[in-house]
Structure formats: C-alpha cells, structure tokens
Amino acid sequence: MNYYKQIENSYIIAIGTGGGGTEITAAEYDEIMAVIHNKPPATETIDYRLKEDLTWEQYQVEPPIPDYNPPEGLTEAAEYLLKTNAVELPNDDPEPDYLNEHEAEPNYFG
C-alpha cells in the first residue's frame, strides 16, 4: 500500500492512501496519525494546525458569520457583501453620512 501526505505552506493538510501529494513510508504515516490522535482540544476561539515538523500551531478561529435576513431582491454580490460584513444595511440612525454628496462635510479646522 502507498501512503501520501500533502503539504501546503509548511502545514500538513492531508494524509492517506489515495494518490496525490508526497509519498511517505508506512512508519511516517503511523507517526503522523499518532500526532493527529493527540491533537490538543479546540475551543470556539482557538484551534490547531499541524506543521511539517509534527508540532501543533495554535491559531485564532474566525467567528462564524451571524445569521441575517437580507431584504428581497438583492443580487448575489450584494448578499455576499452583507453576509461578510463588508457593507451594512442603512438604518434610522440620525448620524449624518459624510460620504453622501448631498450632505455637507463638517469643517474640523474652524
């Protein structure tokens, strides 16, 4: 049986017996699997990725995108921008929008 591992940016992203990646020995496969079975426990905000040297690197987990109810009739692009918080829907906030060309920009210099 042939064993393989896939490395991306110095991290082991996959191992297995299917084709693809770098061929490894059965002993190296078993060693990697032993490390994987002893992975530190993840939390909601912290997880770990396996480096080539078989050590775990801690990283911050991105918070999940909150559920939202988009208005009807939006394009796919507009829905994506809302979902990723790249833009916000307008609200009834009385704060002026200084990027709106119809409202005067305040003069901060007197």
Q: What are the tens digits of pLDDT across the range 46-101?
A: 999 999 999 999 999 987 666 667 678 878 888 788 777 777 766 665 665 555 55
32: buried, middle or exposed (CB in 10 Å: 19+, 13-18, 0-12)?
Answer: middle
Residue 7, strand partner residues: 12
Q: Which two tokens stand for residue 95?
A: 């704060």
Q: Work out the end-to-end distance of the chain between its first and last CA atoms, rounded to an integer number of angstroms.
A: 78
On whether the pTM is more than 0.75, the answer is: no
Query: Quick one: average pLDDT of 28-49?
Result: 94
Q: Which two tokens stand for residue 66?
A: 């909150």
28: buried, middle or exposed (CB in 10 Å: 19+, 13-18, 0-12)?
Answer: middle
Q: Domain spans of the chain? A: 3-60
